[in-house]
Amino acid sequence: MATAATTAPARAARPSASGWRRARRFVLPLGGLCLVVVFLGPYVVMLLDALRSRGDVLQSPATFFPRDWQFSTFGTVLSDTRFLNWLKTSVLVATTSTAIVMLVAVPAAYFTARIRFPGRVAFLFLVLVTQMFSPTSLVVGLYRQFFEANLVNTYLSIILTNSAFNLAFAIWILHGFFSTIPEEVEEAAHLDGCSRFGTLWRIMLPLTRPGLVTAVIFTFIATWNEYVVALTLMQDEAKKPLTVGINSYVTGYQQSWDQLFAAALIAIVPVVLLFAVIEKHLVGGLTAGSIK
């Protein structure tokens, strides 16, 4: 009798558990769809506003879909000389800053991961502390330094600033990847006659490829989206990056909201393409440090 009494609640619980499994098949996809709508909603609105005529954007009452579809806005923006200059500046600054960060971060992270030198922990802590300061809080001092060095309105000032503020993150993430590689791998390479630089180039870098990709993508995005420093250090209209330059479409004298939305959407394309190309490596880089 006791056995029958104890198994009865278990049998009664089975239908509810199976019912939850069936419901979960619909609840989880529905929740994912809601998240997709939330994240893609602003971009859909920007796209629809870019396809409106200039007067339709400000016309009241507002409608979700354009009253008059205007498909020439993207062509107008892409043929704008100012936009092409802004795009060239963003590409130049982002790629150069990313290259500088990787050239400095790779040997620094490898050295701190393999060499036990005095002050190593203090150095890593100092690198971490630099992440606590935002460019906004230091922009006045940065402007003064670059003004005295006659580097205001130059690409070099923005490149150096972006490189400095993204270097700490790259060092930290690459330091973690180098630390997870067994030292026996390097010892085997040294026994085969490989120098330390050769070991780093031929052995360590291929093994840390997910970490390299992760550092590259995050550095590139941070540099591509940077606004405050570029707004302060670059006043030349032809040398402004996209984040600052596209604001020229909406001023106190001219409100070209359709061109502003079109330019903002075009500015997203390089980052989306970069994500699409290295997405599988990026996922591996973000999860590689979770298992030893």
191 — pLDDT class (breaks 50, 70, 90): confident
pTM of the prediction?
A: 0.80
Q: To the nearest whole number, what is the mean pLDDT of the chain? A: 81
For 250, phi and psi rounded to 5 degrees? -125, 105
Q: Is the pLDDT of residue 55 over 90?
A: no
CA angle at residue 237 from 231 to 242, to 5 degrees?
Answer: 60
Which of 34-48, 112-126, 262-276 is predicted with the least confidence, judged by mean pLDDT? 112-126
pLDDT recorded at residue 16: 57
pLDDT recorded at residue 23: 66
| Beta carbons within 8 Å of 274's beta carbon, 6+ residues apart | 217, 220
Which of 82-96, 226-240, 255-269 tops mean pLDDT?
82-96
pLDDT recorded at residue 291: 43
Cβ count near 119 (within 10 Å): 9
Peptide bond into 61 cis (omega under 30): yes
SS3 of residue 2 by DSSP? helix
Domains located in the chain, CATH noted: 79-290 (1.10.3720.10)
35 — pLDDT class (breaks 50, 70, 90): confident
Instruction: Please report the sign of the dihedral spanned by the C-alpha atoms of residue 252, residue 256, residue 258, residue 261.
Output: negative
Instruction: Point out which residues pair with 69 in neighbouring strands.
Output: 52
Q: Is the pLDDT of residue 21 over 90?
A: no
DSSP string, 161-174: HHHHHHHHHHHHHH
